[in-house]
Every structure is written in C-alpha cells, then in structure tokens.
Amino acid sequence: MPSDPAARAGAILEIDLGAIVANWRLLAKKAAPAACAAVVKANGYGLGAAPVARALAAEGCRRFFVATLDEGIALRGELGAEPEIAVFNGPLPGSAAEFVAARLTPVLNDPDQIETWERVATPDQRAAMIHIDTGLARLGLSPAEFETCLETIRALDITALISHLACAEDPAHPLNALQRERFIAARRRLPGVKASLAASSGICLGRRFRFDAVRPGAALYGVNPLPGRPNPMRAAVRLGAKILQLRKIDSGESVGYGAAHIMDGPGLLATAAIGYADGWPRSLSHRGCGWLAGTRVPLLGRVSMDLATFDVSAAAPAELYPGNTIELIGDHYGVDDAAADAATIGYEILTALGSRYHRVYHEPPTESLLAG
Amino acid sequence: MPSDPAARAGAILEIDLGAIVANWRLLAKKAAPAACAAVVKANGYGLGAAPVARALAAEGCRRFFVATLDEGIALRGELGAEPEIAVFNGPLPGSAAEFVAARLTPVLNDPDQIETWERVATPDQRAAMIHIDTGLARLGLSPAEFETCLETIRALDITALISHLACAEDPAHPLNALQRERFIAARRRLPGVKASLAASSGICLGRRFRFDAVRPGAALYGVNPLPGRPNPMRAAVRLGAKILQLRKIDSGESVGYGAAHIMDGPGLLATAAIGYADGWPRSLSHRGCGWLAGTRVPLLGRVSMDLATFDVSAAAPAELYPGNTIELIGDHYGVDDAAADAATIGYEILTALGSRYHRVYHEPPTESLLAG
C-alpha cells in the first residue's frame, strides 16, 4: 500500500528556504561591512533549525546563535566543526563542560558564568561572548559587574561583546540611543573585541547600531522588523489546512464550543483539520480567517483543539470539497496578520507552529549556492 | 564526560502517570456501567500519547481516541493489535486504505467518508464509528444526511454512534438537553448500536448523558471538567524553569521588551529559562507568576521567546541562586490558573507544552496495575 504523508496530513506547512537565504543576503548586504550571523534558536523560530542553518551555512553564514545548550549540541551535529555556534543562555550550573565538548561558544551573562567558564574552558576551547545589560534587564552583566569581571574577561578568548535592545521595533524610543551609549562605553573597556548590538529590528535603526556584527532572527523568517512600515523581507512560510467537512447552516444556529457564534443568516461552513494543538492560536477565535482560492473565509466561533470552522459562503462552489486546502498563512494573510488578529507578535505565531503538520521544505535555487 | 539531560535543560516538565491513571479510574467508576475510553489526541494533550496510553492500557482501558490518522498509526505501533483506536477526523480523501492497514476505527463524519469506508473496508476490518452533529456544527452528519446514509451505515460494523456536546462545561446551558434529545432520536434509528455522547465535562452532567460509553480527555490530564466548581481531578503535570540570572533593579527602571514594565520601587529580578517558544504563552505577560519555595513571584514585563523575568524580591534569600527552580505549574498554580491568567483554557496550556523541556515521567505505583 502506498503511504503518502501529504495525503495523511490534515495541514501542510511549506517552508521556503530560498526566501530565508534571500532574507539573510539582504540583511547581510544592508549590514556590511558588519558581519551577519543568523539566529536559529527555538528550532529556527519553529521552521527547523537544521535545514535553515544548513541552507545559510551553504550561503556563507559562519556564525549561528541558539538559546540553549541542547539546541547547540544538536546544531553542532548538523553543521560540523567549522561554524561558530553561540548559546545565548550560557552555561547553567553543572553544564559548562558540555560546552567545551561540543565546541560551543557560551554567552556569559553574569559573574558566575564568567568564573565557571574561566575554570572549565580548555586551552583550545576558550571562546566566549560577553553579554552586558544596557537596559533590557533580562540577561547580561550590570555595569558594576562588568567592571569587577574585566580582568577575567580579558584573559578569555572573547569573540564578541554583545547587548540586546529593548525597543528596537520603535525607532523613536529614547531607550535605543541610551542603550547604544552604554554599549559604546563598555566597548571602550575591551579594546579590539568585536561588538554586536543589533538583532533584526536593530539592523534597521541604521549604521550606528550595527557595530562589527549583527544577528538577525525574526526577519530571516519573514517577520517585519519595523511594524507599521512596508515589510522588506520575503515571506518564508505557507500554511494550509484541509477541509474535512462542509455543512449548510441556518440562520440562528450556533457554531462551535460554547455556542459562542450565532449565525445571522444561512451559510455554508467548512471544518478544517487545524486547531490550537497545532499552534493555531485559540485567541484567533471569532477573529481569524483563511483564504480559499483567493476568497477570504472568516473563522467562525472558537478554534478547537484539532479543528477550526470557516464561513465559506462566499467561496467559489468548485472549491468546496473535502481535501481542498484553506490557506492560513500565505500571500493574502501573513504571519504578522495572524499575529495581529491573535493579539500577539509574529515571533510567537512562528514558534508555536505545530508538530502535526506535514512539512515541505523548498530548497534555495542552485544559483544562490554559487553566489555564496 | 557525564552528560545529564536534567542539568542541561532550562526547564523540566514532570508528568505524573499515576495521577492520569487515578483520574481515569475515578471517571470510569463514575461512568459505570458505561465503558470508559481515553482520548489521547494532540500527543495526549501535550503530555505524551505513548506513555499515557501505555499506562492506561495497563490499567484496563480498551479504547483510545486520537484526532488524526498519523496519531492513530503511531499509537497502534505503541499499543499492539488489541485496543480499539478510533480517529475523530475520519479518512481524508486518499487515506482510507491506511486505516485498514493500521486497523484503526475511523469516525465517519459525513456521507463521503461513509461511502469511502463502505468501499475500502475489508471483511475483517469494517469497524467504524458514526458521528452525528447534534448542535456543535463542526463535524458529524446532519439529521438529513444520517437518514440518507442509514442503509449503508447498517451494513458496516458500527462500534459506536457518537456526538459531541458544545456547552457541557456549563450544566445550565439549554443546548445540553437539546443535543441529548437529538442524540436519542438518532440512536433509535440504529438499534443495538452502542452510543457515546459524553467527554470529560459531559460525564459530570449526570447519568443521562453517559449512555453506553464515555470518552474523557482533558479531565484525565487534570483540567477541571466543571470550571468554577471544586476540581475532582488530580493534577498531572509540574513545570519548573531554572533561574539563569539574578539582578538588582532600581525604582523607575524598565524591564523587558518594549520597556513595558517600569519598577515602582527597587527590586530583585530572576530571569528564568522559559519563554513562549516553550509554549509558556506570551499572553501571560504582566499577569502570570511563578512560585519559589512557596513564595509567589510575579512575572514582570513581557514573556520573551526563551526567557521570562520574575520579581523575586519577596523570596527567601537562600533560594536565590542560578539553577534553582521557579515552579510554574504545581501545587500553588495549576494548569487552569495559568489558563485564566493567559485568557485561554487549560486545554491550550497543555497542548502548547513545548519540546525543549526535559520530560520526567513518574510511573503509576505498582498496586494500580494489580487493581486494574
């Protein structure tokens, strides 16, 4: 019996590695002469750290960032020995030796992590990054801690001094300039060390924020780095869910859990094989939509665990059959649109993308490999 | 080099299979003489379909429900040939033969699925369930479709006639009685066929809703089947995230992305290794909390992708060190509490539980195996 994963799956996620590579190239060109890394934490923002990082490494990316040690170990296995893989969270107590073993660069965020790394690092594996807090108040050394640790830091092999902007999505926010000033002050204390402040949105704040290296994440995957302005990035994902069943419904009848939607006229409903267990957020209830062959089909009632119901009354009759696909992320409705309807940000829409999708990866065109 | 997954992980999810087994036993006892199945769709509501189903099969559960064909195939591989595994979504076009191959019971939701199954089913693999819609307007045959298909249905091996309540969480909702009446009317048309209407909340609506078989899902995993009343179920999960870093912060300083939280006094912050990429929802920003050795520690500012920051000013100083665990789901704050703060339901908190956690399964005590 032939077994077809695409036929079995209720929903299909297409990931355009060519778009991700093109986005990286665009950002790298914009940031030059600063070097351009790639952030592939959270499983490549939900799209698959391994295929994304392999495609970007083939394009010439030489530095990757992940969040956790486990992500770093897995990525080292995928990429081989060469690229630098930095781990934002740094070593948790008891885990520093595993950074050495996997040749990972810890981001050292506090005096404990610095002291541990100074003790555990080996002569040929001393690379580390130093993270200073300039106003996000999340991870990173305070100015006083930075001063206290300076001698130890200078004895390590520091591949970058980094910090992270809190408000880069809002170019007018005064904290951006303040963080930049604090970052420059710290950088003066480590002459010769490369500096990196900007992630996706920070790159768009201009040359003064780019320093020696930038590290885009969300923009690689198509999220708009400056919300409210035209999005310069290419969309990297398409998501479609198959129609399981069509039904006519009368005016006054209710739809879904809690009988929370009441029809104000007769209609035609399509129930599709996607729900919040697939990461299609329940907060899209009553507000989200899909697209059926170019026609907007509103989501009715509550998103349930495995299913969502759409009003397909306006769709072309020829498109109304079980197995046909309602587009949920695509040309008509992007990641940022879904995020707006779900009262969140595109980053969360991406990282929530679920494990039941049949995933199809579109490889970059061959010429991009030659252009690297 | 010793490699310790628990030391590497930023957050640890403990799953109490003994609690899930105890919940199943409680519901089975409550529902008797109706038979009690178990719904393990969406990877066992995020907790692991395989270990959950194995534990319940050992306890005597003989029927399992999943949502999708792929979930059914995987579960058949885990459980062996004996238990019935029913697939709520039924066969998508082109996939019916795979139900036969994996000996899965399709839930047939519309005339197309019934016609397909009648054609594809083999003499020794004709089992199916019939789903009629009684008011949820999601999946299931309309009354007219049911009448039209009756002869075909009678020729199949129907292991259950099922329907699904829309408002079972609200015992006073008039739709419950209406759905029950419609269900009884349909059942009269299929004499001798077993009937199943109630899921977790439906079981609690009383004997009249339990018919021949019940199929709890959420309540097995500790979600309160009747919100607002005391929860009769045992909690099945604990979630803890490790402190990565502690920092003092002054009055007037901002915390996190968007500088969205401003300190109204000096404080002590702990940044922990959990974020919305782990399924800890961004909608908990400014509202959620953790617990540190019994002290409530409010979540400050926005949840970020891999990190969340807590105000630990009130915690005991001896508990404040990197690597110590902030409890996020546990005795003080359950799945339903997190759901309330995140403006969702416990079901979504569970199914969103992420893939980066180190998962620890606590097996049921041996006596429960004997009691089965």
Question: Thinking of the domain A17-221, which architecture would CATH place it in?
Answer: Alpha-Beta Barrel (3.20)
Lowest mean pLDDT among A76-85, A359-368, B288-297: A359-368
Sequence ranges of chain A with CATH classification 2.40.37.10:
237-333
Q: What's the mean pLDDT when you consider all of chain A?
A: 96
**Rounded mean pLDDT, B280-306:** 97
Q: Which helix (H) or strand (E) holds B272?
A: strand B267-272
SS (H, E, C) chain A: CCCCHHHHCCEEEEEEHHHHHHHHHHHHHHHCCCEECEECHHHHHCCCHHHHHHHHHHHCCCEEEECCHHHHHHHHHHHCCCCEEEECCCCCCCCHHHHHHCCCEEEECCHHHHHHHHHHCECCECEEEEEECCCCCCCCECHHHHHHHHHHHHCCEEEEEECCCCCCCCCCCHHHHHHHHHHHHHHHCCCCCCEECCCHHHHCCCHHHCCCEECCCHHHHCCCCCCCCCCCCCCCEEEEEEEEEEEEECCCCEECHHHCEECCCCEEEEEECCCHHHCCCHHHCCCCEEEECCEEEEEECCCCCCCEEEECCCCCHHHCCCCCEEEEECCCCCHHHHHHHCCCCHHHHHHCCCCCCEEEEECCCHHHHHHC
Assign a CATH topology to domain A237-333: Lyase, Ornithine Decarboxylase; Chain A, domain 1 (2.40.37)
Q: What local confidence, expressed as pLDDT, does residue A369 receive?
A: 47
Binding-face residues of B in 178-237 toward A, CB within 8 A:
none
Nearest to A137 among B110, B244, B255 (CB): B255
Residue tagged active-site, from A194, A257, A321, A333: A257
Q: So what's the pLDDT on residue A175? A: 97
Q: Give the whole-number percent of chain A exceeding pLDDT 90.
A: 96
Neighbours of B173 (CB within 10 A): 17
> Residue B2 — pLDDT band, cuts 50, 70, 90?
low
Q: Which of B71, B276, B282 should one mutate to test binding to chain A, selecting the residue with the greatest count of A CBs within 10 A?
A: B282
Q: Answer whether B139's CB lies under 8 Å from A271's CB.
A: yes
Exactly one of B41, B45, B333, B357 is catalytic; name it.
B41
Q: Inform me whether the pLDDT recorded for A79 exceeds 80.
A: yes
pLDDT of A130-143, one tens digit each? 999 999 999 999 99
From the list A1, A70, A92, the residue facing B242 with the nearest CB is A92
pLDDT value at residue B366: 66
Q: Please, where in chain A does CATH 3.20.20.10 lie? A: 17-221
The complex's ipTM works out to 0.96
Give the mean pLDDT of A300-323.
98
* Token couple for A148: 């206290």
Region B33-221: CATH code: 3.20.20.10
Q: Which amino acid would we find at residue B95?
A: S
State the span(s) of chain B assigned CATH 2.40.37.10. 237-362
Active site residue A361: no
pLDDT at B365: 83
User: Do the Cβ atoms of B70 and A356 come within 8 Å?
Assistant: yes
Chain A CB within 8 Å of residue B340 CB: no
Q: Is A345 on the interface with B (CB under 8 A)?
A: yes
Query: Is residue B370 scored above 70 in pLDDT?
Result: no
pLDDT for residue A211 is more than 60: yes
pLDDT given for residue B3 in this prediction: 77
A88 and B306 within 8 Å at the Cβ level: the answer is yes
Query: Are the beta carbons of A244 and B136 separated by less than 8 Å?
Result: no
| Mean pLDDT along residues B55-77 | 98
The pLDDT of B71-76, averaged and rounded, is 98
Q: What confidence score (pLDDT) does residue A372 get? A: 39
pLDDT value at residue A366: 66
Is A347 part of the annotated catalytic residue set?
Answer: no
Confidence of residue A2 (pLDDT cuts 50, 70, 90): low
**What's this model's pTM, rounded to 2 decimal places?**
0.96
Q: What is the largest CA-CA distance in chain B?
A: 75
Confidence band for B335, pLDDT divided at 50, 70 and 90 = very high
**In chain B, which residues fall in CATH 3.20.20.10?**
33-221
Please tell me what DSSP assigns to residue B14: E
Question: Confidence band (pLDDT; 50, 70, 90) for B4?
Answer: confident
* Nearest Cα residue to B227 out of B276, B168, B272, B275: B168
Of B242, B254, B306, the CB nearest to A41: B306
B237-362 CATH fold: Lyase, Ornithine Decarboxylase; Chain A, domain 1 (2.40.37)
**pLDDT tens digits along A292-307:** 999 999 999 999 999 9
Q: Is A7 in contact with B95 (Cβ distance < 8 A)?
A: yes
Query: Which residue from B68, B101, B271 is facing A356, i.e. has the nearest CB?
Result: B68
pLDDT at B5 over 80: yes
- pLDDT at position A371 is 46
